[in-house]
Structure 1
Amino acid sequence: MCVICGCGEAEVRIDGAAAHTDQVHEHVHADGSRHTHDHVHEHPHDHAHEPAAQHSHAPGIAPSRRVQIEQDILAKNKAYARANRQLLSGHGIFALNLVSSPGSGKTTLLCKTIERLHQQTVAVIEGDQQTSQDADRIRATGAQAVQINTGKGCHLDAHMVGHAMAQLQLAEKSLLMIENVGNLVCPAAFDLGEAHKVVILSVTEGEDKPIKYPDMFRAASLMLLNKIDLLPYLSYDVDAAIAYARRVNPGIKVIQLSATSGEGMGEWLAFLNEGIAQARAARQQTVADLQARIAQLEAQLQARAD
């Protein structure tokens, strides 16, 4: 199993195609003794897989060895995340990593968001352990979607996302939404190359989720408090939920909304449009800087020739 988060040995599938993963395997012998070893599947391209996250005990691995493997896995993931981020930045694409517990309403929110972003091109990467149901729902809106099935894995990593991005026809200056596997623990540790992590908390969950799962809320730039249309039927303390989130992350932005009723969706769409505009502006500035540098070098070469 995965040394850090305990993800089982399962084949990752991206829209039905198998993708190998790096895993730490445990063997139990007839005498009851155990040992573990890494199985690393190398590829000729610039990606490798490391589905793992933090804070778990791997039987048979000494603490120092476990820490070293964890550091190696996360370091490799960061390298792939940088590559993803550079690709996205180079095309002016605004990318978000949507994280939450199962049942928070991520997919419904995505569908309603796509329907309301009439003038924007949106692509989606869907992460689930099994089935393509969520990706099918996204495709029904007319948006591109790639499904990643992680098997027993409990989160997406940057390598999986890099492969999925290669299957999408990502438009210049567009929006990429990554719906992570429903889990408030492991996805906190894995940078996918996104501009922001957006954590979705439903009012049907406990107000204290932010202090029970602080790493996720600390890693997020934005918290969407979803399903507020249900508040009249629940005993839910909105102020307490927001206060808990800001206890662990004082800078977190909070938007209260309902994907079903549409309340608060305007503020969410404004956030998205601002991010898209900033990604476009950053790309244009990068192009302008490169053009200026090329002109400068050409002038220097001309001066030397004269």
Structure 2
Amino acid sequence: MCRSDVRQAVLAKNDDLAALLREDLAERGVTVVNLLSSPGSGKTELLGRVLARAVQRGVPVAALTADLATENDAQRLARSGAPVQQLLTDGLCHLEAGQVRDRVDGWLPADTEVLFVENVGNLVCPASYDLGETLRIALMAVTEGEDKPLKYPTAFGSAHLVAITKTDLAAPAGFDEAAFRANVQRVNPGVETVRTCARSGDGVDALLERALAVRHAPPAHRPPLAPGPHGHDHGHGGHGGGGHSHSHDPAAAPLA
């Protein structure tokens, strides 16, 4: 069996587990939100603000945060008052549905309405793995460059929502927002882009509202189908998109 066949088999198994997890959590009234970004995008700080706002409003939320090592992010997120668990991947560059399922079992509070999953800081490997989420958000800081969506089309092309972070640094960074938005639309036509700033709180309510909205209906935006490694589609019904696909290109393969 060649490497691409092994990869497709791994992804197919993961998709099956993700579908079962999504169904199980939906029956329990839990929506999963998967956050994807590169390291340093500010997603931990922003997620902490979203969790704190939910706690303030009396909305039952929880979070899983993934890293290769340390529990630093879990400690930071726990300051929000929401239930938080750290998931250490032991060197793996992404999360898989089985890891989320195993950690949720026996831990997730019964009244949870939204489970936020902060994926490993990486825009390559995590993009190919369905975690049983209904909403996928790709985040990018203004310091990262307007062409990021073109460099990482799978991550931005599979997102239901794109968030610009650290907008308070846009001017000193010389960030061209119009160019960034145009590049996002090139890889994911019709997807919404929101501006956020953890420091000021801008966009925090918008992200929380979108997470809460998908409890009752799948995301309005359905990312386009993307070609697989040999030009075919790896389609599945995940992410609330009814047949949504990820582009499983060879460059997105897990790191050894």
SS at match of 2:35: strand
Q: 2:14 aligns with which of 60, 77, 90?
A: 77
The amino acid of 2:37's aligned partner reads S
User: d(CA) in 1 for partners of 2:84 and 2:67?
Assistant: 13
Gaps of 5+ in 1: 1-63, 280-306
Aligned to 2:253: none
User: d(CA) in 2 for partners of 1:261 and 1:246?
Assistant: 27
Matches within 5 A, 1:279-294: none
Matches within 5 A, 1:138-157: 138-157=77-96
8 Å CA contact retained: 1:173, 1:276: no
Aligned to 2:2: 65
User: d(CA) in 1 for partners of 2:208 and 2:97?
Assistant: 26
User: d(CA) in 2 for partners of 1:112 and 1:66?
Assistant: 41
Shift of 1:262: 1.4
The amino acid of 1:100's aligned partner reads S
SS at match of 1:239: helix
Shift of 1:201: 0.6
Shift of 1:251: 2.3
Q: 2:175 aligns with which of 233, 236, 242?
A: 236
User: d(CA) in 2 for partners of 1:102 and 1:199?
Assistant: 12
8 Å CA contact retained: 1:146, 1:167: no
User: d(CA) in 2 for partners of 1:266 and 1:148?
Assistant: 26
The alignment covers a number of residue pairs equal to 216
User: d(CA) in 1 for partners of 2:111 and 2:46?
Assistant: 24
Is 1:212 the counterpart of 2:172 in the alignment? no
The amino acid of 1:78's aligned partner reads D
SS at match of 1:183: coil
8 Å CA contact retained: 2:53, 2:205: no
8 Å CA contact retained: 2:62, 2:112: no
Q: 2:70 aligns with which of 92, 111, 131?
A: 131
Shift of 1:105: 0.7
Gaps of 5+ in 2: 219-256
**Structure with bigger gyration radius:** 1
The amino acid of 2:71's aligned partner reads S
Matches within 5 A, 1:73-222: 73-117=10-54, 118-172=57-111, 174-222=113-161
The amino acid of 2:175's aligned partner reads Y
Shift of 1:247: 0.3
User: d(CA) in 1 for partners of 2:145 and 2:112?
Assistant: 37
Shift of the 167–138 alpha-carbon distance from structure 1 to 2, 3 Å rule, reads farther
Among all aligned residue pairs of Structure 1 and Structure 2, give the percentage whose two residues are the same amino acid.
39
**Alignment deviations for residues 9-28 of structure 1 (CA, whole Å, 9 cap, x no partner):** xxxxxxxxxxxxxxxxxxxx
User: d(CA) in 1 for partners of 2:63 and 2:106?
Assistant: 11
TM-score (norm 2): 0.81
User: d(CA) in 2 for partners of 1:144 and 1:265?
Assistant: 19
The amino acid of 2:174's aligned partner reads S
8 Å CA contact retained: 1:123, 1:168: no
Matches within 5 A, 1:1-80: 65-80=2-17
User: d(CA) in 2 for partners of 1:146 and 1:239?
Assistant: 37
Shift of 1:173: 5.6
SS at match of 1:243: helix
Is 1:273 the counterpart of 2:206 in the alignment? no
SS at match of 1:204: helix
The range that moved more, 105-114 or 144-153, is 144-153
Shift of 1:242: 0.8
How much is the aligned-residue C-alpha RMSD, in angstroms?
1.5
User: d(CA) in 2 for partners of 1:182 and 1:90?
Assistant: 30
**Alignment deviations for residues 166-186 of structure 1 (CA, whole Å, 9 cap, x no partner):** 142333461100000000011
